[in-house]
């Protein structure tokens, strides 16, 4: 185990890729074509009925969510947000989940999926964000850059 590099006085509100409420969800199972990062959007892979990947075009299938415990793909690694190629991936089509982003998010913004890597971006409904596509998700708990936020398909905010 490595030496701690940060001390957090308050715990985060949740873990990216996990459920944020007990509202109904819609989840489909697929197989990772290549390593898939959890809490990012996924698109169909080469085998469109069975595989997913973090890159694509058009609307994503959904958000890759946490469903497994103890998948450590690298020798002696402590944890990973990646599902190795060939492993099952749970893809959330609807629901409320914790997520994070490199930029700030505010309450009511729509969630956009970056086509190159599935990361989340935020903007007004109907906005045009270069290299990203609008998703059915909306921000229901905002936060600063790199903070844990909450996104939902059930919200009436957008």
Question: In this predicted structure, what is the pLDDT of residue 13?
Answer: 84
* C-alpha 95 chain-centroid distance: 12
Mean residue pLDDT of the chain comes to: 90
**Quick check: is 5 in a domain?**
no
Domain span including residue 148: 26-152
**Quick check: is 117 in a domain?**
yes
**Quick check: is 101 in a domain?**
yes
Q: What is the pLDDT of residues 66-104, one digit of tens each?
A: 887 666 667 777 777 888 899 999 999 999 999 998 889
Q: Is the pLDDT of residue 26 over 80?
A: yes
Residue 10 token pair: 């308050």
Place of tokens 């844990």: 148
Q: Is the pLDDT of residue 134 over 60?
A: yes
The number of distinct structural domains making up the chain is 1
**Quick check: is 120 in a domain?**
yes
**Quick check: is 105 in a domain?**
yes
Q: What is the pLDDT of residues 31-62, one digit of tens each?
A: 999 999 999 999 999 999 999 999 999 999 99
Give the pTM: 0.89
Question: In this predicted structure, what is the pLDDT of residue 4?
Answer: 72
Strand blocks (E) in the chain: 26-32, 36-37, 41-44, 51-53, 62-65, 82-83, 88-94, 96-100, 110-114, 120-123, 132-141, 148-152
**Quick check: is 115 in a domain?**
yes
**Quick check: is 15 in a domain?**
no
Residue 33 token pair: 């074509």
**Quick check: is 112 in a domain?**
yes
**Percent of the chain residues topping a pLDDT of 90:** 72
- What is the rounded average pLDDT of the residues 93-120? 94
Band (pLDDT 50/70/90 cuts) for residue 2 is: low
User: Are the C-beta atoms of residues 18 and 66 closer than 8 Å to each other?
Assistant: yes
- What is the rounded average pLDDT of the residues 136-143? 95
C-beta neighbour count of 33 within 10 angstroms: 21
User: Are the C-beta atoms of residues 104 and 113 closer than 8 Å to each other?
Assistant: no
User: Are the C-beta atoms of residues 137 and 60 closer than 8 Å to each other?
Assistant: no
Question: In this predicted structure, what is the pLDDT of residue 17?
Answer: 93
The residues, any chain, with a CB within 8 Å of residue 150's CB and separated by 6 or more, are 13, 14, 20, 96, 97, 98, 99, 139, 140, 141
Question: In this predicted structure, what is the pLDDT of residue 79?
Answer: 72
Distance between CA atoms of residues 100 and 150, nearest Å:
8
Question: In this predicted structure, what is the pLDDT of residue 157?
Answer: 72
């Amino acid at each position: 185990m490595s030496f701690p590099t940060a001390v957090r006085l308050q715990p985060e509100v949740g873990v990216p890729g996990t459920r944020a409420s007990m509202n109904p969800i819609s989840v489909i199972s697929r197989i990772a074509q290549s390593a898939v990062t959890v809490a990012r959007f996924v698109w169909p892979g080469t085998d469109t009925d069975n595989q997913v990947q973090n890159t694509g075009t058009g609307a994503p299938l959904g958000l890759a969510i946490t469903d497994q415990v103890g998948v450590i793909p690298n020798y002696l690694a402590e944890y990973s947000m990646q599902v190795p190629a060939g492993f099952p991936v749970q893809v959330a089509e609807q629901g409320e989940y914790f997520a994070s982003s490199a930029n700030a998010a505010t309450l009511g913004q729509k969630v956009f999926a970056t086509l190159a890597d599935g990361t989340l971006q935020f903007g007004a409904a109907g906005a045009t964000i270069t290299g990203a596509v609008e998703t059915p998700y909306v921000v229901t708990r905002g936060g600063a850059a790199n903070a844990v936020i909450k996104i939902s398909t059930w919200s009436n905010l957008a």
